[in-house]
Amino acid sequence: MARLDASNGRPGVWRGPPRPPYMAPMLELAPGLIHLPDFFDRAAQERLVADLREASARAPLFTPRMPRTGKPFSVRMTNCGPLGWVSDAAGGYRYQATHPETGTAWPAIPALALEAWKAGGYRAPPEACLVNFYEASAKMGLHQDRDEAALDAPVVSVSLGDSCLFRFGGETRGGSTRSVRLHSGDVVLIGGASRLCFHGVDKIYGGTSTLLAQGGRLNLTLRRVTQPLEGG
Ligand code: MD3
Ligand code: FE
């Protein structure tokens, strides 16, 4: 794994500020897949959770379902931003401007989540912030994120609450994979050559964080969905 820091940071891969020496180093897990441990300190994590509680009061967690079969996901979801990712048997995977159950617009993306987006260095703001909630028994199978037209934009992930075992591979299903633990406050940038890699969450380590009073894990993924207008 490549260590990216102020001395060997590679232009075009990492355009953020150098990290102070007391922080864990950035790790390039694969080309374009960058792990920023402890991006958010405890106070910032608490603020994010408070913002997400407010958001989920207006846009409640829903259970997405697989296209065609209608098999429910074990992860519950909601969204913030102008667009949200939803899935059901009839309509399949898609982005839409309204909550699938209430029919109202999604709440705004929390300001602190936008700070994580900036670390990705993309020229335009995110349009969707998908919020995944995992109970200790929940998992997410290996998949690619390819419902976005702006595949040049990174996906930016923020982990909150219990730690998880995250797995990623290459661009084809069935190839070799590697695993890494993600902890509360970590950010992962998924861009460049890794943007279409297969990935999933194999395990939640219940009871590893005190951030969420009832336990579990929250993951935010910030996404650009549509191609920005030229100059934007
Ligand atoms: C995207 N979420 O919501 S985020 C998802 O922890 C999703 O909830 C996982 O996969 C979660 O679609 C993982 C981090 C991540 C890692 C690698 C990726 C997102 C990625 C590779 C390509 C695209
Ligand atoms: Fe994904």
Q: Provide the pLDDT for residue 15.
A: 41
- Angle 67-162-110 from CA coordinates, rounded to 5°: 70
Q: How would you write the pLDDT of the chain (232 residues) with one tens digit per residue?
A: 343 443 334 433 444 456 777 777 899 999 999 999 999 999 999 999 999 999 999 999 999 999 999 999 999 999 999 999 999 999 999 999 999 999 999 999 999 999 999 999 999 999 999 999 999 999 999 999 999 999 999 999 999 999 999 999 999 999 999 999 999 999 999 999 999 999 999 999 999 999 999 999 999 999 999 999 986 5
Q: Provide the pLDDT for residue 129.
A: 99
Does the CA dihedral 6-11-16-17 come out positive or negative? positive
C-beta of 78 in contact with ligand 1 (< 6 A): no
Please give the single-letter amino acid code of residue 214. Q
**Which of 172, 219, 223 should be mutated for ligand 1, with most atoms under 8 A from CB?**
219
Instruction: Sketch out the chain's domains with CATH numbers.
Output: 27-223 (2.60.120.590)
Residues by chain with Cβ below 5 Å of ion ligand 2: 145
Q: 């997405």: which residue's tokens?
A: 64
Ligand 2 centroid to residue 192 C-alpha, Å: 15
Q: Of 163, 168, 135, 227, give the one whose Cα is nearest residue 30.
A: 168
DSSP assignment of 121-147 equals: T-SS--SEEEEEEE-TT--EEEE----
34 contacts 189 by C-beta, under 8 angstroms: yes
Look at ligand 1, atom 8, and give the residue with the nearest C-alpha. 219
Ligand 2 centroid to residue 158 C-alpha, Å: 12
How many Å separate Cα 69 from the centre of its chain? 25
Q: Of 82, 87, 79, 85, give the one whose Cα is nearest residue 52.
A: 79
C-beta of 157 in contact with ligand 1 (< 6 A): yes
Q: Provide the pLDDT for residue 4.
A: 42
C-beta of 156 in contact with ligand 1 (< 6 A): no
Measured CA to CA, the distance from residue 161 to residue 168 in angstroms comes to 21
Pair of tokens at residue 200: 């999933």
Residues 6+ apart with CB under 8 A from 64: 72, 73, 75, 77, 86, 87, 88
DSSP assignment of 57-101 equals: HHS--B--B-TTT-PBPSSEEEEESS-EEE--TTT-SEEESB-TT
Q: Provide the pLDDT for residue 18.
A: 67
Ligand 2 centroid to residue 52 C-alpha, Å: 20
C-beta of 34 in contact with ligand 1 (< 6 A): no
C-beta of 116 in contact with ligand 1 (< 6 A): no
Q: Provide the pLDDT for residue 9.
A: 41
